[in-house]
């Protein structure tokens, strides 16, 4: 089994993030708090509760170098938490939003972070030493709906976003005085802050969960139409592929290598996608080995199963809320997976990641013992 540890922390988890040494995990238990648990003598103990937000916390990210936590919430606010002795002290972030903040990510150099919002904007925040607060520059009038996900390119300049308008976009976030000219790609005529590099109109539905590959050469994101999109050569003439599947939609994705992507979502079971030697992406299998998807024609078996369920409900008066046992057969999660995070330590060859979901579980997965997937790692 690929799942090596399952931890039931709460009834529901909105998002989670790990400390740099992976000894602590921070998550939102579907309320306005951030809970931090630490592994002590092989047991997880609650050591901190971060209380500053007024509404549900929608995004958390923990920086790997500076050991800072950034949180965003539906209350339109964001805080950067610094460890000072035994306590976590919040620092104000000036977002200037009139709608909920939905997602947040630190940049690779951790001198900036990006916040996507329901105000159709993206706030790129940086620290002002003189005032001891984080200020933001805003990318406006580019999105037609809420920004659901943000992802930084390894060069610390390009930022990818997805939105419920169905589009994926890539922007330049170069900020004078924060970024160095050497980190900019190309000549001095490169795009300025907020300039759109490319707009991808591949999805006909809401778009979620955008990520860059480790090299930054490939971009992946998912649509609410049960499709995942892979884009190479980001620029005027990008090369795009899409992979359709007959299962429930995904919510987030993660590159574990240049050739392998893990997708998680409403099917409660991580899905493995991989590229062959020619660069063609395809669905490989469920990581939790969902049995019914591996035997017989997929479309026929799923249609028959769905028809039989509806017939039984009509005949016997069963509720639509009844959980279908075969739906989660082989799956560790019992509800939608809404967050996935890489767990590899620097210099380590292991391929571990964690998932959290609406069932309140944090599950740690290890791909090292999956023999059929090693060729993609």
CA-CA distances (angstroms) from residue 336 to 92, 226, 323, 367, 372?
32, 14, 13, 21, 26
What are the start-end ranges of the H helices in the chain?
Answer: 298-316
Domain membership of residue 155 as a residue range: 3-179+190-289+326-376
Give dist(CA 139, CA 159) in Å, integer: 11
In a domain? residue 25: yes
pTM summary value: 0.88
Give dist(CA 72, CA 371) in Å, integer: 39
In a domain? residue 314: no
In a domain? residue 321: no
Residue 44: helix, strand or coil by DSSP?
A: strand
How many structural domains are present in the chain? 1
CA-CA distances (angstroms) from residue 45 to 35, 41, 87, 201?
10, 10, 16, 45
In a domain? residue 57: yes
Give dist(CA 289, CA 222) in Å, integer: 21
Torsion angle defined by CA atoms of residues 239, 166, 281 and 289, in that order, rounded to the nearest 10 degrees:
170
Give dist(CA 183, CA 136) in Å, integer: 20
In a domain? residue 123: yes
In a domain? residue 170: yes
Give dist(CA 286, CA 150) in Å, integer: 25
CATH code of 34's domain: 2.130.10.10
Give dist(CA 256, CA 103) in Å, integer: 21
Per-residue pLDDT of the chain (377 residues; tens, 9 = 90+): 689 999 999 999 999 999 999 999 999 999 999 999 999 998 999 999 999 999 999 999 999 999 999 999 999 999 999 999 999 999 999 999 999 999 999 999 999 999 999 999 999 999 999 999 999 999 999 999 999 999 999 999 999 999 999 999 999 999 999 998 765 454 445 679 999 999 999 999 999 999 999 999 999 999 999 999 999 999 888 999 999 999 999 999 999 999 999 999 999 999 999 999 999 999 999 998 644 443 344 444 455 555 555 555 554 454 444 434 334 455 799 999 999 999 976 655 568 999 999 999 999 999 988 999 999 98
- SS3 readout for 167-205: CEEEEECCCECCECHHHCCCCCCCCCCCCEEEEECCCCC
In a domain? residue 82: yes
In a domain? residue 236: yes
Helix (H) / strand (E) element for 215: namely none
* Residue 256 neighbours by CB under 8 Å, 6+ apart: 262, 342, 351, 353, 367, 377
């Amino acid at each position: 089994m690929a799942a090596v540890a399952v931890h039931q922390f709460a009834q529901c988890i909105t998002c989670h993030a790990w400390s740099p040494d992976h000894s602590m995990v921070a998550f939102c238990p579907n309320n306005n708090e951030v809970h931090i648990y630490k592994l002590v003598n092989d047991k997880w103990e609650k050591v901190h509760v971060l209380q500053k937000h007024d509404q549900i916390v929608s995004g958390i990210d923990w920086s790997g170098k500076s050991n800072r936590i950034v949180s965003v919430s539906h209350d339109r606010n964001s805080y950067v938490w610094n460890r000072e002795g035994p306590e976590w002290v919040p620092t104000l972030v000036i977002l200037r939003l009139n709608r909920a903040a939905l997602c947040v990510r630190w940049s690779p150099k951790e001198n900036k972070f990006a916040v996507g919002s329901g105000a159709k904007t993206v706030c790129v925040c940086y620290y002002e030493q003189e005032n001891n607060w984080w200020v933001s520059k805003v990318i406006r009038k580019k999105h037609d709906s809420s920004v659901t996900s943000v992802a930084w390119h390894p060069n610390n300049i390009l930022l990818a976003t997805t939105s419920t308008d169905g589009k994926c976009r890539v922007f330049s976030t170069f900020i004078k005085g924060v970024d160095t000219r050497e980190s900019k790609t190309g000549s001095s005529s490169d795009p300025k802050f907020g300039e759109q590099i490319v707009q991808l109109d591949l999805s006909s539905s809401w778009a979620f969960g955008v990520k860059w590959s480790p090299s930054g050469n490939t971009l992946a994101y998912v649509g609410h139409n049960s499709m995942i999109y892979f884009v190479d050569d980001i620029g005027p003439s990008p090369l795009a592929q899409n992979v359709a599947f007959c299962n429930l939609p995904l919510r987030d994705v993660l590159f574990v290598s240049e050739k392998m992507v893990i997708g998680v979502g409403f099917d409660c079971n991580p899905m493995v996608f991989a590229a062959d030697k020619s660069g063609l992406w395809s669905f490989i299998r469920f990581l939790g080995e969902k049995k019914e998807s591996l035997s017989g024609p997929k479309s026929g078996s799923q249609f028959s199963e769905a028809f039989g369920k509806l017939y039984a409900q009509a005949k016997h008066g069963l509720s639509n809320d009844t959980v279908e046992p075969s739906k989660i057969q082989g799956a560790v999660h019992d509800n939608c997976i809404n967050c996935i995070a890489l767990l590899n330590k620097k210099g380590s060859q292991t391929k571990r990641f964690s998932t959290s979901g609406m069932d309140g579980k944090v599950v740690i997965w290890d791909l090292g013992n999956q023999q059929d997937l090693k060729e993609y790692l």
